[in-house]
Chain A
């Protein structure tokens, strides 16, 4: 392999070092392309089987489907209904960006990501119990009347095709037009709110 010699380093060491760098470069181009480029084709899939363990362990996993293939076409938020030991109920709202000011919204974006982009989805059911426990801890104000049941509800409103119904920017939809679905019910244990 023809490679550039370096100053002040013995030639053999230089060559071996540069061979190492070349291998590193080639290997990582393959890793980055296989992990980053979308689509499924036989060569990529076979390479990923080999490379994925490395990419996952090191932290080179990646996906770039921002607002794609289709942008979100619904406004959504989550709520939790808490039933206390004495039978009373209250509603705990997950942080909603649309109700926040400019700076608060910037700082709280990860709450939106967590609730609306992740917990709302059935694919993330693994995290529902943790979420319910978190809500129970937040709702616990009176130790003699702890939360007993936490139910998670999602509310959503679909943004219609602008060719059918063009909505001016900034318009709000009445809460009554939102659809609601209770997707999880959790019975709180004493140790959950400690």
Chain B
């Protein structure tokens, strides 16, 4: 391997222009999850964010420290500012989902979400962390270039024609790296735990009353099945940060990931988290695959011809030049 080969691989990975359908579909899925999350926040809203919230603003500041992105520090910790920040967040995420002023909406959605997170850090789970970090990266993507009101307006105004142009996927690549860090990190933590390595972890999680949702008869009462489920979930998490990069295995691994999250969603009460993770898996789909699937769907519904140009790696373009 030469330095030039590494440089080429780097440039191909981050900067070879790709179809934008993948990131646009992701924007819609992720936006819907953000809306679901915002609606859930309404339950207990004044307890978390109001002027008489459980955690006083001064205590939250002591815990988080000052200097963080936090609109409450500008507007004050009153009921009206809480509703203003929340309302703005809701409008921004709906707008983001529809693809209206996409980038500005993403920026506003991120700032308001971070502010809410910094107002009460005690109620946050890993789903909140994933939403916050990925929303940050989404601000830099070209998620509004397809399936968006922005594109519809541009087509109507005549400022763009034809299928959406290919774009450099570096922001989506950062998201993919972040998603792999999530699975890598959680797999590393779990491999340090005795219950995960001896196969009894699922036994403990299914005996936690607070997390019970729908019953899973037989399987959860068999130690053999419990061991298999524990190791299978660990194996899928490991695959989601490693095998997912192998082109031939990627879609299979992603389907297994979706099945893992759906099974947890069915059996355990951990609202929103599984949907956050499933929406993130959409960002892992290869842009060409997503483009092909969407073109196939469009062709089936509207008899439209499939697009378009094929991505040409940066390194090959340079050679041709």
Measured CB to CB, the residues of A under 8 A from B are 2-4, 18, 21, 24-25, 28-29, 32-33, 36-39, 56-73, 75, 96-98, 102, 105-114, 116, 118-119, 124, 126-127, 129-131, 133-134, 137, 159, 161-163, 166-172
Contacts and interface: CB of A to CB of B under 8 A. Distances in A.
Contacts of B186: 64-66, 68
A25 B176 CA distance: 13
Given A39-B188, A162-B226, A169-B216, 15 more contacts: A36-B178, A56-B65, A65-B185, A66-B186, A68-B196, A69-B192, A71-B193, A72-B205, A75-B207, A107-B40, A107-B44, A111-B47, A116-B210, A133-B56, A159-B208
B15 A3 contact: yes
Interface of B: 7, 11, 14-16, 40-41, 43-44, 47-48, 52, 54-56, 59, 62-65, 67-69, 110, 113-114, 117-118, 122-126, 129, 132-133, 136-137, 140, 168, 170, 173-174, 177-178, 181-182, 184-186, 188-190, 192-196, 200-201, 203-213, 215-216, 220-221, 223, 226, 269-271, 314, 317-318
28 contacts: A21-B168, A28-B137, A28-B174, A32-B181, A36-B184, A39-B188, A59-B68, A59-B69, A59-B113, A59-B136, A68-B196, A70-B195, A70-B204, A71-B196, A71-B204, A97-B212, A108-B44, A109-B269, A114-B54, A114-B123, A126-B63, A127-B63, A130-B59, A162-B226, A167-B207, A169-B216, A169-B220, A171-B207
A57 B215 CA distance: 42
Contacts of B173: 25
B200 A64 contact: no
Nearest to A59: B114
Contacts of B203: 162
A180 B216 CA distance: 31
Contacts of A110: 40-41, 43-44, 48, 123
A119 to B, nearest CB: 8
Contacts of B182: 36, 64
Nearest to A39: B188
B133 A113 contact: no
A106 B269 contact: yes
Q: Output the residue of B47, B126, B189, B210 with the most chain A CB within 10 A.
A: B210
Contacts of A63: 126, 129, 185
Contacts of B62: 126
B122 A113 contact: yes
A168 B221 contact: yes
Given A98-B212, A159-B207, A124 B40 contact: no
B129 A62 contact: yes
A7 to B, nearest CB: 9
Given A2-B318, A126-B63, A162-B203, A131 B54 contact: yes
